[in-house]
Amino acid sequence: MTSKIIFVDPIYRNYISFVRHNRLFSRLIEELDFTLVYSNDVSILQNKDLAIIAFQRNHNVMNEISQIPQKTKLIGYFGDMHVFCNTAVRTFPEKNLKFAQAFLERMDFIFSMVKSFFEETFPKFVNKFAFVPHHVVKEFYENLEFNLDPIKKCLFIGELFPQRAYPFRNFFVRNRNLVKVDYIPPSKIHLSQGQYLNNNAFVNERFAKLLNSYFCSFTDSGALPYLLGKYLEIPASGALLLGEQIPDLDDSGFIPDEHYIPVTKENVFQKLDECLSNPEKFAEIRKNGIELVLANHTVENRFQQIKQILEKL
């Protein structure tokens, strides 16, 4: 019998916002007979036939993983590609780039939630790469009623620091009109071990309901062109997405002015005024966003995508 494992950095063990990934891992366990381990003990991988290396951040552990004998097939599953250099700049220092390339070289296949940046930075590995965008837990969103009388404001909730990582959102929050924009600082304060101190954080069901209560919500990609989870969570809730247009959003099926309102630093407040002055005009876009996400970007969608690829390896 094939021995298969999902090997996850233990920092994520207690993340209450990690549930969407745990739901995906559960499907892999149920249908494809994987086991799930939160550990940095690389010896666990010895003599395994197949190992999914998920969300690994520890460079020492990654170096050890690179030495695993070739008889164990290794599948990388990545969120933020900048874990290779722990920086928010667009280019990698040379030593970090070499480290990343050595680690990715050992991977037999790579799943990444980042597409355009991966292809630009690691063109050597695009032949063994698949774009797996973030996904939502369908149960959190599918039973939300389409809000006909939402709060007529724009919501933004998210990290602002480090500022160089999030220049657009810092501009947005700093220059916002308090009458038109509500900013909720992140309530998920966590220790370095990944244990959340505040169990009342706006995550999972509470986050979905919060988004659903507002007419619209803003998000950006950060300094790196990442399709963050909020690009999917906002439209799934029925709120109108005001978002920075990036290639990964296009590649996920989002059409400007059909599924969301594209915004830039130069026009974001003008676009916001247009939306708030005539909210009924954007009801169809809100409904399109719900349909797109719940049809294409759920746990089950992502599981089926990954399953089909794994069965061919």
DSSP string, 128-181: GEEE----B-HHHHTTPPP-SS-EEEEEEES---SGGG-HHHHHHHHT--TTTE
Same domain, 187 and 51: no
pLDDT the model gives residue 194: 45
pLDDT the model gives residue 9: 92
- For the cut 60, the answer to whether the pLDDT of residue 221 exceeds it is yes
Per DSSP, the residues of 180-230 read TEEEE-----B-TTS-BS-TT-S-HHHHHHHHHTEEEEEE--TTTT---TH
pLDDT the model gives residue 22: 93
Give CB contacts under 8 A, 24+ apart, made by 61-70.
61/9, 62/99, 62/103, 63/103, 65/103, 65/106, 66/102, 66/103, 66/105, 66/106, 68/42, 68/106
Cis peptide before 279 (omega within 30 of 0): no
Note the pLDDT tens digit of each residue in 93-107.
777 888 889 999 999
Same domain, 204 and 122: no
Note the pLDDT tens digit of each residue in 248-284.
999 999 999 999 999 999 999 999 999 999 999 999 9
pLDDT the model gives residue 198: 56
Mean pLDDT for 207-221 is 96
Same domain, 221 and 130: no
Distance CA 121, CA 115 (A): 10
- For the cut 90, the answer to whether the pLDDT of residue 296 exceeds it is yes
Note the pLDDT tens digit of each residue in 34-63.
999 999 999 999 999 999 999 988 889 999
CATH of the domain at 98: 3.40.50.2000
Same domain, 184 and 239: yes
Domain span holding position 152: 138-296
| pTM of structure | 0.94
- For the cut 60, the answer to whether the pLDDT of residue 86 exceeds it is no
Which uninterrupted H or E stretch holds 91? none
Distance CA 289, CA 20 (A): 19
Same domain, 145 and 273: yes
Mean pLDDT for 94-123 is 92
Mean pLDDT for 279-296 is 98
Note the pLDDT tens digit of each residue in 125-183.
999 999 999 999 999 999 999 999 999 999 999 889 888 889 999 999 999 999 999 99
Same domain, 122 and 203: no
- For the cut 70, the answer to whether the pLDDT of residue 88 exceeds it is no
- For the cut 70, the answer to whether the pLDDT of residue 3 exceeds it is yes
- For the cut 70, the answer to whether the pLDDT of residue 90 exceeds it is no
Query: Side by side, which strands form the sheet with 181-184?
Result: 181-184, 151-157, 214-219, 240-243, 261-262
pLDDT the model gives residue 190: 43
pLDDT band with cut points at 50, 70 and 90 for residue 192: very low
Structure tokens given for 167:
């220049």
Higher-pLDDT residue of 64, 80: 64
Q: How many CA atoms lie within 13 A of 193 on its CB side?
A: 3
pLDDT band with cut points at 50, 70 and 90 for residue 80: confident
pLDDT the model gives residue 276: 98
Residues 68/24, Cβ–Cβ less than 8 Å: no
Q: Nearest-CA neighbor of 300 among 27, 78, 21?
A: 27
Same domain, 209 and 261: yes
Same domain, 189 and 281: yes
Same domain, 47 and 62: yes
Residues 226/80, Cβ–Cβ less than 8 Å: yes
Give residue 20's identity as a one-letter amino acid code.
R
pLDDT the model gives residue 177: 97
Same domain, 64 and 27: yes
Higher-pLDDT residue of 117, 111: 111
Same domain, 283 and 304: no
- For the cut 70, the answer to whether the pLDDT of residue 191 exceeds it is no
Lowest mean pLDDT segment, chosen from 14-18, 26-30, 259-263, 309-313: 14-18
- Domains held by the chain: number: 2
Same domain, 262 and 305: no
> What is the bridge-based pairing of β-strands 4-8 and 129-131?
unpaired
